[in-house]
Amino acid sequence: MEEKVLLDDVSSTLRERVFFAARDGMSLTLYALLYEKNTDEIDDLLNTDVCCDGVKCTPLISAARQGREGAVRILLDKFRPPVRLETEGTVKFDEYVIEGATALWCAAGAGHLGIVKRLVRAGANVNHATRTLSTPLRAACFDGRLDIVKYLVRHGADIHKANKYNNTCLMIASYKGHLDVVQFLLDSGARVDERALCGATALHFAAECGHAPVVCALIQAQASILTNQNGMSPLQCAAERARASVVEILAARPEVSRAQAVEAFELLGASFANDKEYYCLRMAYQYLHRAMTMRYDTRYGLLLKQPAEPIPAYDNWKESTTLEDIERLHGNAHALHMEGLTVRERVLGRTCPDLPHPVVFRGAVFADEARFDRCLALWRHALALRQYNNVSVVKDLLRFAQVFSQMIHIGIELPLEQVCFVLEACAEELRRGAERLEKPPANNDAEALISLASRYVLQDEFESNVRTALYLVSVAARLLENDGNTEDMIRAIRVAIFRVRDARLLRGQTLLHLAVDHRTPVDDFHTSDVCQ
């Protein structure tokens, strides 16, 4: 028994030496470690996964990932068989963890053309996909490696093969803005109007990312202006993301009506007014003014605006309906901010998942200015919008716990009603999360893998919400000590606490367990000042 354990240890050590020699491109060392071994030993050393730094794969996969062509050549020329070309492993690419990647997928994704050629010549399957159904061709398209894309296509790679989201090679190349790859795929017969599961086409992806040359190439290839599952066209996607150059191109298309163009320019101006990355009040005013001018262009007939009802979170702002109204906004930052938020909600509608982002951003700006009443009003509205659309609010809930703790810490009055609203939302999110986790797993293998990955995310979000519930209860306990709370509000907060009391982590801890355990992690952004 002891002898077997010793042999296993030696084998494990040798396996790691072989793996690291391949990974680090030490070709002579790799050959020296293997050449005197018998076939069974080589099979074990080269086809058993080694775990290291979050990676779990064979020496060939590691060498291909790292671009060690000499090591790959040794393995293919001297030790095939038993080295296997289609073995799958788990590798890292930037911040992504890729499961089910072959050596060819890794070489294509990392841009190692020489290794790609060696593997294909050795017989590697050019269409072998990862767990998420990503092919080597898709990996090369993501990285914009036209040389690898051309080589793989010449050797049988399927340009139509999509991933688990039905996202095609043309879509990912369009999303990344790789014009040369996009043009090659189009010339090779890629279906320009193919839809992903979300209903988006390649034109949507190029438009939302602001890749104007790619948009032009797709249009030249007769791409249709379709809507995704949220009812948004590529023109609206570009306007929502403040992609002015793309909006100008698409708004001028003959298939876009004047009314659609006007709303796109309104949305573009509104997005510039509150976009975290592309914030620009000059552009906001310019496009809002341009849209209103188009509405009143008598050469084509009036397009009078039908403004929506004022929204309390936006200061009950009444949207501009005339040129004079718009011109009064000039130089008034707050007016442009509220006009922008109001326009976005009218144009996009409450069901658009992208609607809350600028609302949260504007609220954060108010928080930085210590205008917490305005911050809370906007964040509550964003929270309500997300829950209305059944979108995860895990970050929103934690954000509230942080700002509540900040307000208490610096001595700003915090109404108990605000905490009650968020605690009730947290209780509802925990209820929904528990329901999602109770759903039975999928039947077939592919769906089961996707389902398992989704469950990890759901479980992580659920546990985060449990801890946030504890933070909110701690904040409520502080406020319940104050005088002036009405009986109705005290009753409401107790009901909300009652709704979250039985929430448990995966290991069974309730809020009470967490409250008395000194090991319970506490968010360190102001929350620890109140909850520690």
What pLDDT digit, counting tens, does each position of 319-367 carry? 999 999 999 999 999 999 999 999 999 999 999 999 999 999 999 999 9
Q: Which H or E run contains 529?
A: helix 527-531
The pLDDT of residue 439? 77
Q: How many CA atoms lie within 13 A of 238 on its CB side?
A: 28
Q: Which H or E run contains 264?
A: helix 258-274
Q: What residue spans define the domains of the chain?
A: 257-371
Among 114-123, 131-140, 431-440, name the one with the lowest average pLDDT. Answer: 431-440
- Residue 520, burial from CB neighbour count under 10 angstroms (0-12, 13-18, 19+): middle
Distance (Å, rounded) from C-alpha 463 to C-alpha 327? 50
What average pLDDT does the structure give for the chain?
92
Burial 401-433 (b: 16+ CB within 10 A, else e): bbbbbbbbeeeeebebebbbbbbbbbbebbebb
Contact 354, 208 (CB under 8 A): no
Among 8-12, 54-58, 201-205, 379-383, name the one with the lowest average pLDDT. Answer: 8-12
Six-digit token string for 11? 């084998």
- Of 424, 431, 274, 291, nearest to 354 (Cα)? 274
Residues 6+ apart with CB under 8 A from 508: none
Q: Assign 524 a pLDDT band (cuts: 50, 70, 90).
A: low
The pLDDT of residue 115? 99
Distance (Å, rounded) from C-alpha 253 to C-alpha 247? 10
- Residue 189, burial from CB neighbour count under 10 angstroms (0-12, 13-18, 19+): exposed
Q: Assign 532 a pLDDT band (cuts: 50, 70, 90).
A: low
Contact 169, 141 (CB under 8 A): yes
pTM to 2 decimals? Answer: 0.90
Burial 31-44 (b: 16+ CB within 10 A, else e): bebbeebeeeebbe
3-state secondary structure of 255: coil
The pLDDT of residue 510? 80
The pLDDT of residue 437? 86
- Of 322, 99, 347, nearest to 237 (Cα)? 347
The pLDDT of residue 442? 57
The pLDDT of residue 425? 96
Describe the chain by its helix, strand, coil percentages, rounded to 5.
60, 5, 35
